Copies of this chain bind each other. A is one copy, B any other.
């Protein structure tokens, strides 16, 4: 193993000088810097992470707490996790993965052991047990999702309210009057998942403003449940010409069921999905969809926490900041003008 002392010897300077060259925390002459850098190269020196963490009291690690749940669309989580990891590396941080099932104790463990300098929490519930722990430990954190009480913490999330409104507007613009909103399974609403509630609220408000009649129905995302949901919708509101689908699992079944029931998309009914573009492209017809960038979500989360870590030892007192990412509507082949009344 090559240590800082080896580098110092090789470059003919003291080890503190090497440290300062690497950290840039003190002025070092051009000449010395050059020599040290080259020694580092030649010897293949990488500072020992443990020693660094111990001396500097910073591990340069960010912990990312991911949900175990599988009732949300998994690729999105993965995309966020990867975006977080690459963004973190660009700021000199590594990412430690921990699972939600460690719960508040996990947060305590990570914070108290100094394993990570800060945390990013995914799948935050409105009233989350981990938040008080964060405050008690004085740990820096960013929440992905909005919590009830985020004083002193930073949050980032998609603007689901805007996403819901975009759907309502698009269908209203096309002349549709009766819409069905196919949501997630009832469990998601019962645990007050913010994204589900906020999308629905955004849709509902805008639908009201635009004079749309609409129905909200839960759906587990299997073929059977989608069939049941659709049957009930058509029984209750035979005049429905627009569908908003939030549960990714229900999209395929819905399209198949509409087709077998003799309804053509988009001539007879329009379908708009709340899902990733990649997924929307996979269906036939390609789906008009409202999307937020998971990549950006991860990137912003990292920037928030890195910002906090940087200012928190300058004595700067970071305010609670919350970022809402604007979703985009991409019109494809699954939506069209409402059919003329018979």
Contact = CB atoms under 8 A, between A and B. Distances in A.
Interface stretch (A150-158, A176-184, A277-285, A323-331): A277-285
A85 B59 contact: no
B81 A97 contact: yes
A64 interface: yes
A94 B75 CA distance: 23
B96 A61 contact: yes
Interface stretch (A12-20, A43-51, A229-237, A263-271): A43-51
Contact of A249 (B48, B49, B54, B282): B282
**Chain A interface: which size bin?**
35 or more
Contacts of A222: 281-282
Contacts of A49: 50, 53, 59, 113-115
A316 B54 CA distance: 31
A253 B284 contact: yes
A163 interface: no
28 contacts: A2-B112, A44-B112, A46-B113, A47-B113, A48-B54, A48-B114, A49-B113, A49-B114, A50-B50, A50-B52, A50-B54, A51-B54, A53-B53, A54-B54, A74-B78, A74-B79, A78-B81, A81-B81, A82-B99, A85-B98, A85-B99, A86-B99, A89-B99, A89-B102, A94-B96, A94-B98, A222-B281, A223-B282
